[in-house]
Chains A and B, each alone.
Chain A
């Protein structure tokens, strides 16, 4: 589906090589934005996303940047600043899981998830603010329903996503005066690699809990990201938009 062109600027998508991030990158490219697909390690997937976008008539580049490494995040923003066009939106979709019961969770498992999902969001958010301080723009952080209602076995992941929600609300108030909006999407069960790692029985049990009766396609989350990234949400900031088939209703 070809979207209406609503901007000719740049969208920087962290975690844009796979899953929801890739769907967001593709959708924002359909909307007319030049997309920078930032990835940590899977260059093949990132280049595949770029190729897919270009074949569909969009503009895209891949850029390596580990969100845990603030210097790398700064480097990504420097690279974008050197590109033609104004940075309009930044999407933070980098995320990892390392599930386990909290009582036996290793400190390393805790730190790895918090470092990527929450500290990564911190690194990306503050560089976004610096980059967009003169032009305004939109930051969209990918959270999770796990950050709203919690999930057993996901203490680290839930904490990281709950942190993203709080960060979204605080930062939105902090930078509203600069014309920068900050919002989050909270996907529920979405058909990504992360979900496919679950065993089939657990997936079926979770799916049965969803009022709409199925998991989300990543593009359904990308539509929400498109809304929050673009001018149609010009009066929306500091919000956590659940895209979860009704599971948190």
Chain B
């Protein structure tokens, strides 16, 4: 069973990961908003941030460069939200 301290540390790591992803998206896609405006469950495509297919390439490339995690079309649901991208990174990032 995890201790409160361990759970707290995990929550902080996750919060930092989500914040990093928001920054990457805003900087990499040159979005005209501040990173903090993107909500963790806000859709990235469609009526969310209204990203397009070239933005997909950018997100895939940014995640690859930053986290060594590789996303393909088989994992399209990953692009659902910041939380979904973060979940995928946590599940697939190389272990030290």
Footprint of B on A, CB under 8 Å? 74, 81, 129-130, 133, 177-178
- Shortest C-beta distance, A70 to chain B (Å), equals 8
Which chain A residues border B57 with CB–CB below 8 Å? 129-130, 133
Q: Specify the chain B residue showing the minimal Cβ separation from A70.
A: B70
Q: Is B61 touching A133 in the complex (CB atoms < 8 A)?
A: yes
A177–B64 Cα gap in the complex (Å)? 22
Which chain B residues border A129 with CB–CB below 8 Å? 57
Footprint of A on B, CB under 8 Å? 54, 57-58, 60-61, 64-65, 70
Q: Is B60 touching A130 in the complex (CB atoms < 8 A)?
A: yes
Q: Is A133 touching B70 in the complex (CB atoms < 8 A)?
A: no
Which chain B residues border A81 with CB–CB below 8 Å? 65
A107–B70 Cα gap in the complex (Å)? 30
A133–B55 Cα gap in the complex (Å)? 11
Which chain B residues border A74 with CB–CB below 8 Å? 64, 70
- Shortest C-beta distance, A152 to chain B (Å), equals 37
Which chain A residues border B60 with CB–CB below 8 Å? 130
A178–B65 Cα gap in the complex (Å)? 18
Interchain residue pairs A-B with the least CB separation, the first 6? A130-B61, A133-B61, A133-B57, A130-B64, A133-B58, A177-B54
Q: Is A178 touching B54 in the complex (CB atoms < 8 A)?
A: yes
Q: Specify the chain B residue showing the minimal Cβ separation from A178.
A: B54
Which chain A residues border B65 with CB–CB below 8 Å? 81
Which chain B residues border A178 with CB–CB below 8 Å? 54
